[in-house]
Amino acid sequence: MRRSAVAKLALAPVLALGLALGLSGCITLLPKSAPAQLYRFGIPTPTANGAPSSVGAISVFRANGAFVREAAGDRILTVTGERAAYIADARWVAPAEVLFDEAVSNAFEAQPGRVRLVGRGGPNRADVALRLDVRNFEARYGAGAAPVVHVRIRAVLVRSQDRSQAVEQIFEAEAPADQNRVTAIVAAYNQALGKVLGEVVAWTNSSAG
């Protein structure tokens, strides 16, 4: 009887330890973090100029362009002097370079003109090729409390028949955020990008003809 009692007493701590280890696999002590809020840019706005013209249409192949690496992902980039940071708990709904491609297509579809963008899988031969390199895509903090969104794009047009005749131009725009809030900053991104893409579409229509 004494040996049995001693065995039971010896097993009790082991069983308690096993139970504790089993429960530790089901319980986390890490604090719960709120999910990041998702935002998008490049939402098309209706125009009053009517549908794009189909008379004398010019096919433009959208070539792959570069997107500044720091801003190409789904994080919203801010710059203060020499320092760069991302807005906490806020993300683009998709990588910025993906949303940018959609915004370019929407801009050409929304504004009238002879240019028709064609991508991979489209016609084998296009009249010209358009390359867009995004050099800056950031919210800059300066003297004010709210940032100013800066968008800068390098556009290059190359004719299919004569690649030596290439034209290029830099387009850039700034849009101040009304206040230092994510929704206001996103609105400024939309405003700056909308202005730049509007100028790109007009330039492409005039230069590709």
Establish if 27 belongs to a structural domain: no
Q: Taking the model in full, what pTM does it have?
A: 0.78
Q: What integer pLDDT is reported at residue 199 of this predicted model? A: 96
Supply the mean pLDDT for the chain. 81
Establish if 11 belongs to a structural domain: no
Q: What integer pLDDT is reported at residue 53 of this predicted model? A: 54
Strands (E), 81-198: 83-92, 115-118, 128-141, 148-159, 166-176
Q: What integer pLDDT is reported at residue 132 of this predicted model? A: 96
What tokens were used for 110?
């929304």
Q: Count CB atoms within 10 A of the CB of residue 75.
A: 18
**Full domain range(s) for residue 65:** 37-207
For the four alpha carbons of 118, 120, 123 and 125, in that order, the dihedral sign comes to positive
Establish if 173 belongs to a structural domain: yes
Beta bridge partners of 62: 130
**φ, ψ for residue 140 (rounded to 5)?**
-100, 130
Alpha helix segments (H runs only) across the chain: 2-24, 96-110, 182-207
What's the CATH code of the domain at 115? 3.40.50.10610
For the four alpha carbons of 75, 150, 137 and 43, in that order, the dihedral sign comes to positive
DSSP 3-state of 70: helix
Establish if 175 belongs to a structural domain: yes
Establish if 91 belongs to a structural domain: yes
Q: What integer pLDDT is reported at residue 44 of this predicted model? A: 67
Give the angle subtended at the CA of 134 by the CAs of 133 and 137, to the nearest 5°. Answer: 180
Establish if 130 belongs to a structural domain: yes
Task: Give the single-character DSSP code of 177.
Answer: -
Establish if 23 belongs to a structural domain: no
Q: What integer pLDDT is reported at residue 114 of this predicted model? A: 85
Q: What integer pLDDT is reported at residue 59 of this predicted model? A: 86
Number of domains composing the chain: 1
Establish if 25 belongs to a structural domain: no
Can you give the pLDDT of all 209 residues of the chain as single tens digits? Answer: 444 443 443 444 443 434 343 434 444 444 455 678 999 998 766 554 555 555 668 888 888 899 999 999 999 999 999 999 999 999 999 999 999 999 999 999 888 788 888 876 555 577 889 999 999 999 999 988 999 999 999 999 998 766 667 899 999 999 999 999 999 999 999 999 999 999 999 999 998 86
